[in-house]
Amino acid sequence: MKFLIQKEVLDKFNDLVVGIVLARDINNRGVSQEINELLHIAADKAIGECSQLESPSRHPNIIPWREAYKKFGSDPHDYRCSSEALLRQVIKGNKVGGINKLVDLYNFISLKYIIPVGGEDLDKTKGDILLTFATGDERFVRLGGTENESPLPNEVIYKDNESVLCRRWNWREAERTKLTEDTRNAVIVIEGLSPMGREIVEIATAELAGLIDKYCGGAVRYEILTKGKEEMVLG
């Protein structure tokens, strides 16, 4: 099993850097007050960063994602990258913690660095995970949904051998592979576009890997993918 970035995606978005955290034999059960406190601190920091901005969409880490969405035909006013959506939630005062340890930890990293982060339960995936352009006939059932919502042709998606794992790059994840308290093996993805370079993505990825090791145990490792290194062996 591999995680792969299609060459055509890197040709169109040649500044893309992707951090991959592979976590195996973890314990994702229970709650952690320490994680909740980390989320609270990160939320306050993120709100502070946006306090002088006209809109969260003007944050320098959000702007390149809005431009990327336009490039593959998705209006960023209607479809927001995951980091912008999360940022808007905390600005509104909505609670973002209490889902499960893995999700809470990656939301912490997303808020701390204002960077898209998402994850999949590896035991629910089928074959390789691929970041690619959609043909338009793939199957997708969104988180919490039951109906098929196939992507549009040329939309950036994550998919495996069975169906789409995330639509519009990092806009909406799938119900089938969602992370739950029962998750034992997971892959977490952190994505950066210029001006966020490899160094920040690697710092964020290493920090998340350390946090998962601390709070969930198991065997955790990470790699950084970009042009010239487009795949990671997951096992």
The percent of residues in the chain predicted with pLDDT above 70, rounded, is 100
Evaluate whether 54 touches 91 at the Cβ level (below 8 Å).
Answer: no
- Interacting residues of 41 by C-beta distance below 8 A, sequence separation 6+: none
Give the pair of three-digit tokens for residue 131: 């970041």
Going by pLDDT thresholds of 50, 70 and 90, the confidence category of residue 205 is very high
Q: What is the pTM of this model?
A: 0.97
Average pLDDT estimate for 116-129: 98
* 123 band by pLDDT with thresholds 50, 70 and 90: very high
Query: What tokens does 221 get?
Result: 């490792």
Share of the chain above pLDDT 90, in %: 98
Give the model's pLDDT for residue 95: 87
CA 216, distance to chain mean position in Å, is 19
Beta-carbon count within 10 A of 93 CB: 8
Tell me the average pLDDT of the chain.
Answer: 97
Q: 158 and 20 in contact (C-beta within 8 Å)?
A: no
Residue 51 in 3-state DSSP? coil
Angle at 187 (CA atoms; ends 181, 189), nearest 5 degrees: 115
Hey, what's the torsion of the CAs at 54, 57, 63, 68, to 10 degrees?
-150
Tell me the two tokens of residue 30. Answer: 């229970």
- The tally of CA atoms less than 13 A away on the side-chain side of residue 150 is 10
Q: Which residue range forms the structural domain that includes residue 83?
A: 2-233
* Count of structural domains within the chain: 1
Residue 9 in contact with residue 156, Cβ under 8 Å?
A: yes
Residue 16: give its domain's CATH number.
Answer: 3.50.40.10
51-81 residue pLDDT tens: 999 999 999 999 999 999 999 999 999 999 9
Q: Report the chain's terminal Cα–Cα distance, integer Å.
A: 5
Distance CA 190, CA 192 (A): 7
